[in-house]
């Protein structure tokens, strides 16, 4: 882009991180499908390896296509730099181990995606990293009470998958700053199109780029956004040594996805709110979780920090496990698969799949009942989505 620095979100989504003049005039970044890069001289190679000069060495560390995606994500999130990873879970693991290694602990909300919860509850402790979960996410004093001298950061996911809990980023950030530790936020469901996570107080933002950033369910990847010093340390440390690099072709697909992120999230949010209101008034539905439902417990917080409710909703069906599975089986338009953020409508039964590894007692604490269905509402005509939901409910 040119010299102007205050471009709008959609302009950045189309132009940041790429200069056509440096790419034979192509408005799209090239796919640099290569492992290593030629140096001009042994002296230049030494400078790049020593970190005295910027440059590309090996695609496990950096790659021009991935670099363009990282710069675009940093621009959209308002961060200094970004680090792209092979998956969203790789991004969370890399961040956690980098910050909390050597006997540190993490304070985290227990309102988390099942994979993250299992990572924190089972895997990280095996690496010597303890995690202290906060169950009452609206009780800010509970976060402060859990922090001790070994706490390295606070981790939250908002909105949280699949119960759609919305945590107040600004309030949790105040606690983190008071204690002198960073706040890490998984903002996958909000995306930078709906939530300015760093402006709200986060120090580090993580996304599963496989979801809305990609937008069509074709590519796996993740990204970490934060201060340049932190990103450089991670890149030259655990990232380089463990190799969770993003494939350049996936980075190229993510760049294309970002071009339409804002308009997609606007349509997703519109469709999902209509579906949530329909479900809320259905006699076979006991509860609906969606950030922008006016009577929801997190509605005020959601409206304060998000410009739209996003594409994910969950709802509890009367009849528990049997009814939840029957609903899934009866869907005709929606796809039954373990993903979200696709342009198509997707649905799954969390208690038996995404959160199947979480003990039932702990699962119920975080709002995942046997009758809960998670739905990622797509971009189809809303009338067709509603018809599919209604005919599936009729089969129960």
Return d(Cα 61, Cα 344) in angstroms, integer. 34
Q: Does the pLDDT of residue 366 top 90, yes or no?
A: no
What pLDDT digit, counting tens, does each position of 190-231 carry?
Answer: 999 999 999 999 999 999 999 999 999 999 999 999 999 999
Return d(Cα 326, Cα 195) in angstroms, integer. 35
Return d(Cα 104, Cα 130) in angstroms, integer. 7
| Residue 392 contacts residue 384 (beta carbons within 8 Å) | no
| Residue 116 contacts residue 251 (beta carbons within 8 Å) | no
φ, ψ for residue 227, nearest 5 deg: -70, 145
Q: Which is higher by pLDDT, 292 or 101?
A: 292
φ, ψ for residue 183, nearest 5 deg: -105, 125
Residue 24 banded pLDDT, cuts 50, 70, 90? confident
pLDDT of residue 391: 98
Report angle CA 185, 181, 244 to the nearest 5 degrees. 50
Q: Report the pLDDT averaged over residues 32-45.
A: 94
pLDDT of residue 384: 98
Q: In what order do the strands lie in the sheet with 81-85?
A: 81-85, 222-226, 204-208, 183-186, 151-157, 105-109, 130-134
DSSP symbols for 114-146: HHHHHIIIIIHHHTT-EEEEES-TT-HHHHHHH
Percent of the chain with pLDDT over 70: 99
Question: Which of left, alpha, beta for 176 (phi over 0: left; psi -120 to 50: alpha)?
Answer: alpha
Q: In what order do the strands lie in the sheet with 346-348?
A: 285-289, 312-317, 372-376, 346-348, 335-336
φ, ψ for residue 232, nearest 5 deg: -65, -40
Selection from 98-102, 317-321, 391-395 with the highest mean pLDDT? 391-395
Q: Does the pLDDT of residue 21 top 90, yes or no?
A: no
**Pairing assessment for the beta strands 130-134 and 183-186 based on DSSP bridges:** unpaired
Q: Does the pLDDT of residue 2 top 60, yes or no?
A: no
Q: Does the pLDDT of residue 108 top 70, yes or no?
A: yes
φ, ψ for residue 288, nearest 5 deg: -125, 135
Q: Report the pLDDT averaged over residues 60-87.
A: 97
Q: Which long-range contacts (CB under 8 A, 24 or more apart) does 348-351 make?
A: 348/373, 348/374, 349/324, 349/325, 349/373, 349/374, 350/114, 350/162, 350/314, 350/374, 351/321, 351/324
Q: Does the pLDDT of residue 360 top 90, yes or no?
A: no
Q: Where are the beta strands (DSSP E) in the chain?
A: 81-85, 105-109, 130-134, 151-157, 183-186, 204-208, 222-226, 285-289, 312-317, 335-336, 346-348, 372-376
Per-chain mean pLDDT for the chain: 94
Q: Which is higher by pLDDT, 6 or 388?
A: 388
Tokens at residue 292, please?
Answer: 């922008």
The CA dihedral of 136, 151, 171, 202, to the nearest 10 degrees, is -120
Q: Report the pLDDT averaged over residues 363-371.
A: 85
- Tokens 């998000």 correspond to what residue? 306
Percent of the chain with pLDDT over 90: 86
In 3-state terms the chain splits into helix, strand, coil percentages (rounded to 5) of 40, 15, 45
What pLDDT digit, counting tens, does each position of 307-319 carry?
Answer: 999 999 999 999 8
Return d(Cα 236, Cα 232) in angstroms, integer. 6
Three-state DSSP at 369 gives coil
Nearest Cα to 317, choosing from 375, 241, 237, 243? 375
Domains with residue ranges and CATH for the chain = 9-259 (3.40.640.10), 262-394 (3.90.1150.10)
Q: Which is higher by pLDDT, 5 or 258?
A: 258
Q: Does the pLDDT of residue 3 top 90, yes or no?
A: no
What pLDDT digit, counting tens, does each position of 136-175 carry?
Answer: 998 999 999 999 999 999 999 999 999 999 999 999 999 9
| Residue 372 contacts residue 324 (beta carbons within 8 Å) | yes
pTM: 0.95
Tokens at residue 168, please?
Answer: 């107040």
Q: Which of 95-104, 122-131, 347-356 has the lowest mean pLDDT?
A: 347-356
| Residue 225 contacts residue 203 (beta carbons within 8 Å) | no
Q: Report the pLDDT averaged over residues 128-143.
A: 94
Q: Which of 70-74, 103-107, 275-279, 356-360 has the lowest mean pLDDT?
A: 356-360
Give how far the C-alpha of residue 100 lies from the chain's centroid of Cα atoms, to the nearest Å: 20
Residue 358 banded pLDDT, cuts 50, 70, 90? confident
């Amino acid at each position: 882009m040119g010299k102007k620095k205050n471009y709008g979100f959609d302009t950045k989504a189309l132009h940041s991180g790429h200069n056509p003049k440096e790419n034979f005039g192509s408005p799209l970044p090239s796919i640099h499908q290569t492992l290593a890069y030629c140096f001009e001289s042994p002296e230049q190679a030494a400078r790049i390896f020593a970190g005295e000069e910027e440059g590309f060495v090996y695609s496990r560390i950096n790659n021009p296509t991935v670099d363009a995606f990282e710069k675009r994500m940093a621009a959209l999130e308002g961060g200094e730099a970004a680090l792209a990873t092979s998956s969203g879970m790789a991004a969370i693991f890399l961040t956690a181990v980098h910050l909390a290694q050597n006997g540190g602990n993490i304070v985290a909300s227990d309102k988390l995606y099942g994979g993250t919860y299992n990572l924190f509850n089972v895997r990280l402790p095996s690496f010597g990293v303890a995690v202290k979960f906060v169950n009452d996410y609206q009780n800010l004093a509970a976060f402060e009470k859990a922090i001790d001298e070994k706490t390295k950061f606070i981790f939250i996911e908002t909105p949280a998958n699949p119960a759609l809990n919305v945590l107040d980023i600004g309030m949790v950030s105040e606690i983190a700053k008071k204690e002198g530790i960073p706040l890490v936020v998984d903002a996958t469901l909000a995306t930078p199109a709906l939530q300015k996570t760093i402006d709200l107080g986060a120090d580090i933002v993580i996304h599963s780029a496989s979801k809305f950033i990609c937008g069509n369910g074709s590519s796996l990847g993740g990204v970490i956004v934060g201060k340049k010093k932190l990103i450089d340390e991670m890149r030259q440390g655990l990232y380089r040594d463990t190799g969770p690099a993003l494939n350049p072709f996936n980075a190229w697909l993510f760049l294309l996805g970002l071009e339409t992120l804002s308009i997609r999230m606007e349509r997703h949010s519109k469709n999902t709110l209509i579906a949530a209101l329909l479900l809320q008034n259905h006699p076979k539905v006991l509860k609906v979780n969606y950030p922008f439902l006016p009577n929801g417990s997190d509605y005020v917080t959601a409206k304060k920090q998000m410009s739209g409710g996003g594409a994910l909703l969950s709802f509890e069906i009367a009849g528990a496990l049997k009814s939840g599975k029957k609903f899934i089986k009866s869907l005709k338009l929606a796809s039954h698969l373990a993903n979200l953020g696709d342009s198509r409508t997707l649905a799954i039964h969390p208690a038996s799949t995404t959160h199947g590894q979480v003990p039932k007692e702990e699962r119920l604490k975080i709002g995942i009942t046997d009758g809960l269905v998670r739905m990622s509402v797509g971009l189809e005509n809303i009338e067709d989505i509603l018809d599919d939901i209604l005919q599936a409910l009729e089969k129960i």
